[in-house]
Structures are given as structure tokens and as C-alpha cells.
Amino acid sequence: MNTYQTKAYAAASAISPLASATIARRDPIERDVQIEILFCGICHSDLHQVRDEWHSVMPTVYPCVAGHEIIGRVTRVGSAVTKYKPGDLAAVGCLVDSDGSCPNCKAGLEQFCPNMTLTYNSPDKYLGAVTYGGYSDSIVVDERFVLRVPSNLSLAGAAPLLCAGITTYSPMRHWGVTKGKKVGVVGLGGLGHMGVKFAHAFGAHVVVFTTSPNKKDDALRLGADEVVVSRNANEMQKHVGSFDFILDAVSAEHDINAYINLLARDGNITLVGAPEKPLGVSAFGLIFGRRSLSGSAIGGIAQTQEMLDFCGTHNITADVEVIPLQKVNEAYERLLKSDVK
């Protein structure tokens, strides 16, 4: 297969900082779209993967080029491509391929396909080795996994929609967050702040739960109707049994039962953060009120496009800080210290 060389920022091992490298990409074949990458979000998963912290589930193959929140411009297309032409804006999220034939793919839920190809650190069926992500000058992706970007959106702010955006949009759609519903968002980081924006845009009454009272102004500015300091038992007590849906975006250890108790009858709490240790769930909290606890992972391609179009209509982007790729190692350290907005 013909390839070309492109520049990237790669980790050579779990303990080495990211450094400039050259990687091979396939030349676009029939259904491929080649994209010049303009912006790529930094997702906490990138950091876990680069440092091989998910070794037991998906060990990292080095060199590792992370990045799955990609926004760019089409530079070349294969002969059978119909949806894109050079010059178009385009985006790529966490997936670049799937088998297209399993029940999940047929349901438009490619994110659950047992044979999906992740954007990075996934077996590359064209070139062998593994796929390389968005910390790079360009990428080549099958057009079925390329997304259209509304032209009114800030391109830098649109990048995180491809992971943080769809991760919060999808469960809210699934659990029927609409006007008149009471929705909680736990945590106000990369995921949580998108959750607040979407819940607000869907017309819900949005309550943000935070451990830090100084995030109150941020939460209100993002669209929250109320802010509850979760350490304050009195404040929590006022909301017992009242939520239709809670999005739990916390990846640190926390008391899930305190939130389950806030759900109304048939209410749902969905986990999108991934704490390292198992959560201690009280069965009684779920039994009384027929409440449910579930998880969710990104979204299918069709829904990701729906989310981007929704963002275009409602002018929603992520709040971002733009840095040159050369500062990615510093950004990782800041991410670990939660020193980012």
C-alpha cells in the first residue's frame, strides 16, 4: 500500500515525554478522505493511553500518537468519496472504522462494535501496527467516519465536541432530557461543562453539583439554574427524590449513593467518568423508586453528526485554551493538577 510521511507528536514509551516524530499514513484509497489537522483536543484518555495506565484493558503500543478530537480541512479525497471535497471542513472523533455488519453497527451504534477501530492505538488494518491519532499534521480516514463541521462554530472550540461533546450529548438524548426535566450534572470539568451546555440547550432545569464553591459563577455562566455544593448535606437534602436524570462526570472516588437518592421515581444516573476503584452501590437506593444506574460511551457516527449540527444551530462549543502542540507535555502536567479551564 502506498504511504506518505507526516509529522506527529509521539510518545516512545510510557515514561518518555511526547516528542516530534515522523509517521506514515496511507495514501487515500477509494473511500478515504485526507484531512489537514487544524486543531486537536487534549482528552484525559490521551494521557492515560500515552502513559499506558490502561494496560490491563488496552495496552499501549509505542510509538503512540494520541488525539481523537480532530478538526481540519480536506486536502485530498479518494475516487469513490461523495460527501467531501478538498477545502471542506471536516472532523474525526474517537472512531475511524468498524465492521459495519454487527447488530451494533446496524443500529448506528458503532461505538459498541466488537471490531471497531479506534482513532489511535488500535490495530491498523491497512498498514499493520496501530492507528495514529490527531497530534499530527494530517490524517486519512474512511469517509463514513468523517463528520461535517458547521461553519459558524469556532474551530478550536469545536474540537472537544468530538469526544467530550458526544459523550455528554448521547446519554442525555438516550434518557430523554428535554424541556421541563430536572437534570443534574456532577463535576464541572471537560465533560461536565459540556453536559451543562447541552442540558440547558435542551431546555431542562439544570443543577450543577460541585465540591468547590468557587466554581459557582462558572456553572451559572455555562447555563446552570442552580449550583449545589455537594459537601453541604443540607443543600443536598433539599433535592432528594427530584431528579429525572443525573450525568455523573466524576472520575475520582465519590459517594454515588448520595446522588442515587436525589433521583425521582424511574430517574437515571449515567456514569461518563471512570473512577479507578469500584463504586459501592446501595441496592436499596435503586430498588425504592425503580431508579437506574448506567454508563455511556461516546456515540455512534450518525448521532455525532446530529450533535455537531445541534451545536451549529445553538452555537455551542467547548470552552478551550489553545496551545501549540509543542507545549503538550506541559499541558498534561497541568491536566493532572486540574489547572485547566
Q: Contact positions toward Zn ion, by CB under 5 A?
A: 43, 45, 98-99, 102, 105, 113, 163
In the bound state with Zn ion, the residue whose beta carbon lies nearer, of 28 and 133, is 133
CB nearer to Zn ion: give 70 or 163: 163
Minimum distance from residue 103 beta carbon to Zn ion (Å): 8
DSSP string of 7-50, one letter each residue: EEEEBSSTTSPPEEEEEEEEPP-TTEEEEEEEEE---HHHHHHH
- Give min distance, CB of 272 to Zn ion, in A: 11
| Shortest distance, position 45 Cβ to Zn ion, whole Å | 4
**Amino acid found at 275:** P
**In whole angstroms, how close is the CB of 120 to Zn ion at the nearest point?**
10
Find cell 459495519 and name the residue.
Answer: 100
Rounded to 10°, the helix 164-174/190-201 angle is 40
Q: Which is nearer to Zn ion, 70 or 90 (CB)?
A: 70
Cβ distance to Zn ion smaller for residue 14 or 102 = 102
What is the separation, in whole angstroms, between the first and last Cα of the chain?
Answer: 42
DSSP conformation class of 104 = H
> In angstroms, what is the minimal distance from the CB of 92 to Zn ion?
12
Q: Which is nearer to Zn ion, 89 or 163 (CB)?
A: 163
For Zn ion, which is the closer residue by CB, 147 or 262? 147
Beta carbons within 10 angstroms of residue 270's beta carbon: 21
| Nearest one of 131, 134, 115 to 123, comparing CA atoms | 131
Query: Between residues 28 and 273, which has the closer beta carbon with respect to Zn ion?
Result: 273
Instruction: Name the residue type at position 179.
Output: K
Smallest separation (angstroms) from Zn ion to the CB of 90: 18
35-72: buried (b, 16+ CB within 10 Å) or exposed (e) per residue?
Answer: bebebbbbbbbbbbbbbbeeeeeeebbebbbbbbbbbb
C-alpha–C-alpha distance, residues 43 and 190, integer Å: 8
- Provide, rounded to whole angstroms, the least separation between the CB of residue 295 and Zn ion: 15
| Cis geometry, peptide bond prior to residue 160 (ω within 30 degrees of 0) | no
